[in-house]
Amino acid sequence: MDLRIFFRVFIVVFTFTLMSHPAKAAALHKVLLLHSYHAGYKWTDDITSAVQNEIFGKDVDLRIEYLDTKRFFSPEYLLQQKEALARKYANTYFNAVLVSDNHALNFALDFRTALFPKSPIVFCGINSFTPQMLRGQKNITGINESVGVRKTVDLMLSIHPKTKRIIVVNDESVTATALKLSFKEETKGKYPQIDWLYTENYSTEDLLDLLHSLSADDLVLLGVFFRDNNGRQFEYYESAELISKNSPVAVYSLFDFYLNHGVIGGYLTNGALQGQVAAKLVLDILDGVAADSLPVIMKSPNQYFADFSVLQRFGIDENAFPQETIFINPQPQFYKEHRLAIWATVAVILALSFLTLLLSINVVKKKKAQASLNRLTLELKERVDIRTEELHLTNKEMKRKEEQMQHLLSNLSGMVYRCKSTPEWSMMYVSEGCYNLTKYLPDELLANTIISYGALIDPRDREKISRLVAEAINSKKHFTLEYRIRCKDDTIKWVWEQGLAVYDESGKCLYIDGIITDISERKIIEQEQTRLTTAVEQTDDLIIITDSNGNIEYANPAFERVTGYSLAEVKGHNPRILKSGKQSAEFYSALWNDLKQGKVWRGRFINRRKDGTHYIAEVTISPIRDGQGELINYIGVQRDITHETELEKNLRQAQKLEAMGTLAGGIAHEINTPAQFVSTNLDFIHDSLPDLASFISKTVEIAGKDKIKELFEQYDIDYLLEELPLAVQQSSEGITQISNIVRSMKQFAHPGEENMVNADINDSLKNTATVCRNEWKYCAEMSFDLDDQLPLVPCHRSEINQVFLNIIVNAAHAIASRNGENGEKGFIAISTRHKDSHVEIAISDNGGGIADEVRERIFDPFFTTKEPGKGTGQGLSIAHSIITEKHNGTIQVDTTPGKGSTFTIALPLSDAMSG
């Protein structure tokens, strides 16, 4: 038995004896001991015992209350505790209030005015104390609590110098998280030879597997482990025994309540020492010392402890520990170790003998008092039992609701809070989600202990947020906000907040309740969507989104620019409103067949604009499916390639003309030589026929006339002499015409020209008329009125020839269409003039003319007045593009329905446009 125990027994018995005798009662000092946790929790019980021992025999009336916040914690619960204490001690003034641990201190500060406004406060067990925790309140002192990380690790390494790895066993609670941060800060850079392994994310099974795998160069340091990551709960002794029994290596700790449960020990935080020092401060205050004059004791009264029985298990010499170490469970050396206790026992026996004599004197008095006391005790017991049952039921219901609330809050994504309606947003309560959101622990934000929540709000948003919250409070409406905060690690987060003020009966705002969640990822997605939307809105490509039935839900601005339809006009309609009739039913059937099979369709459409004109679109249509694979939309992307198509057609036409020119050049080379032979021979025959005829005539004169005449008639010589010169002349003209056509074809195409050249427009018109003669010779006569002084014009000759060809052929078709098959010929008149800085070409016909209602559209792509299959609607469109875009010229039409049309082309003499 420890010496101190004997002395305590003696003092108790002696005091009880003295109390049995009537004595003049001294005025008692009332002291309230307010615990954060519950009775039966070793840390709390150690503090209670130390305080009771320290004030024993003093004139102190000690009252003890437990907030039980390890099992119940919410703003509502704390308010209920406050109300209960206010009723219980309504007429009691405490000369001092001693609070243990952070929750009790915060409770005392929050409700000090209502519960004990003038009482000095002494605190103990406050983790990492800072003056800001007192919120500027006075008449307070106490003792700081800190864990002995460095001294414990130094002790471990001095006993086990070959250690390479230390496993720190911790859970995910707020206290454990704070411990880990403190641990990392104190060991940072101090032990480079050690690998650290933290187990807060381990399940019980994973932890046991890890312990079983440890080797001789490993050690275990037990921090705070009351639940694993699966939520399995442990009492302190259960976790210590679980870890020490399954670890093949030594287990050290930071807290004394793990002793006697398999750990070796260390430089331990000790509840009894905390309570002892705090009780001494209380006694100083009761002796008249002002609390503010007693500085807060920052050095935590930790102590080296070791369990001798565990040292023996691992063969560790007790001399390896510092001299001041307190050993528990030492080897019995009875008299040597307990001689003082033995003599104390003897003294107690003697004292008891003396006390027995005194007690016998009071037996009679006590018997009389006992009867009355028994009656009162029974009555009190009945009342206590009734009240205890009521409290039990009330506590049971409160516990159930508290567990429901805690479960709900733990599953919420974000931070639930209650704060004062001040610019600093002084927090009265925050849930544990506070750490994930801000990287600050709840105790650091409560009552602005380290920083106020208002200071976390980004300065760019602070003024707007304050204004919106003030407006909501004044209008008594809830508010919803989105803004940025700066976290403890200096990261910026976007948060979403919803809150509602709570008012008293007079309408004054008491506090604000709300929830704050992290929406940073959502903001990133919104920014990406904004960029995508901007790209869709600004692109020149037409984008259409339809539902699964093909009805338009969205069309971008490019759609309106190209088609002329606004989104309001087409929304809910099918894209067939753009249908031009240029695609067959089979075309659309194949398209929908691909889409229904989930394929992406690519192709070209000729679509109709709102004004009736057509455009060519290169189209991609894709089906869109949701996460379950269900078709929800189609998206179509169209690119207007009308202009590109015209350029392609121009290029193909130019390539055809170039090929024709190349072919014509080859034909000319191949035909001209034999044609020259034929022409020369025909000339020879033509020149020789008169001599032959003269020879035959003279031969007839010399020979017998009858016989010759008979031969003449037999071979029809007179006919031959008459027709041969005519046949030779016609053959010569045909050969000349062939040469002219080949030369015109060659001049018409001009193969190989890429840049503008100075061209003879008169010659180009003649050659073009010759090339297309077969188109007009049966229906029209052609006349030329060409300016002989016409200057050369810079142009692309092959493309200008194509323009002339298109207009002449159109003129011939217009005349043929008007005159039908009556055989009547019309006329085509071609003229050129030099006017100032340009050359003017006019091509007129007396065909049917152009109706007024279509006159403005004749240069539009795909527009034609011809019957289906007889025109593409591209000829005049291409001609307009060549003249206006490539030559910077003009082309106009003057037409009278039923009388004909005149196309007038003006080409500049400057070659500024090179195409």
What is the tens place of the pLDDT at every residue in 269-291?
999 999 999 999 999 999 999 99
DSSP-derived letter for residue 297 is: B
The span from the CA of 852 to the CA of 857, in Å, is: 10
Q: What are phi and psi of 638, to 5 degrees?
A: -115, 140
Secondary structure (DSSP) of 341-352: HHHHHHHHHHHH
pLDDT of residue 208: 93
Average pLDDT over residues 49-57: 91
Q: Give the β-pairing of 542-547 and 218-222.
A: unpaired
pLDDT of residue 23: 41
Kindly give, in sequence order, each residue whose CB lies less than 8 Å from that of residue 70, ignoring residues fewer than 6 positions away: 36, 37, 38, 41
Q: Can you list the pairs that 393-396 forms with residues at least 24 positions away whose Cβ atoms lie under 8 Å?
A: none
Q: How many CB atoms lie within 10 A of CB 523?
A: 16
Kindly give, in sequence order, each residue whose CB lies less than 8 Å from that of residue 608, ignoring residues fewer than 6 positions away: 578, 579, 580, 581, 614
Task: Sheet with 542-547: list strands edge to edge.
Answer: 552-555, 542-547, 631-640, 614-625, 601-608
Q: How many CB atoms lie within 10 A of CB 322?
A: 12
pLDDT of residue 821: 57
User: Do residues 869 and 835 touch, judged by C-beta distance below 8 A?
Assistant: no
Does the pLDDT value for residue 74 go beyond 90?
Answer: no
Side-chain-facing half-sphere of 86: CA atoms under 13 Å: 14
pLDDT of residue 728: 65
Does the pLDDT value for residue 142 go beyond 80?
Answer: yes
Q: Give the β-pairing of 265-268 and 218-222.
A: unpaired
The span from the CA of 6 to the CA of 1, in Å, is: 8
Give which of 21, 23, 22, 33 is closest to 61, Cα–Cα.
33
* Reported confidence tier of residue 425, pLDDT bands at 50, 70, 90: confident
pLDDT of residue 830: 94
pLDDT of residue 867: 58
By CB atoms closer than 10 A (0-12, 13-18, 19+), residue 319 is exposed
Query: For 307-345, how does the pLDDT look when each residue is reduced to its tens digit (9 = 90+)?
Result: 999 999 899 988 999 999 999 888 665 544 565 666 677
CA distances in angstroms from 509 to 109, 499, 500, 567, listed in the order given: 21, 13, 10, 49
Secondary structure (DSSP) of 204-266: HHHHHHHHHT--TTEEEEE---SB-TT--B--HHHHHHHHHHH-SS-EEESBGGGTTTT--EE
H-assigned helices in 412-519: 433-438, 442-445, 453-456, 459-475
Structure tokens at 337: 């170790």
Does the pLDDT value for residue 426 go beyond 50?
Answer: yes
More confident residue, 694 or 221: 221
Task: Say how far residue 275 (Cα) sits from the centre of its chain.
Answer: 52
Query: If you average pLDDT over every residue of the chain, what do you get?
Result: 82
CA torsion angle 835 837 839 842 (round to 10):
-60
Query: For 686-745, how does the pLDDT look when each residue is reduced to its tens digit (9 = 90+)?
Result: 666 676 667 776 776 666 566 666 666 666 676 666 666 766 666 665 666 565 555 555
Instruction: Report the amino acid identity of residue 761.
Output: I
Strands (E) across 690-808 are located at: 757-759, 780-785, 793-795
The span from the CA of 439 to the CA of 419, in Å, is: 18
pLDDT of residue 743: 56
Does the pLDDT value for residue 294 go beyond 90?
Answer: yes
Task: Say how far residue 444 (Cα) sits from the centre of its chain.
Answer: 30
Query: For 807-840, how does the pLDDT look when each residue is reduced to its tens digit (9 = 90+)?
Result: 898 888 888 888 765 668 889 999 999 998 999 9
* Reported confidence tier of residue 464, pLDDT bands at 50, 70, 90: very high
pLDDT of residue 12: 45
Highest average pLDDT, of 79-93, 323-337, 818-832, 858-872, comes from 79-93
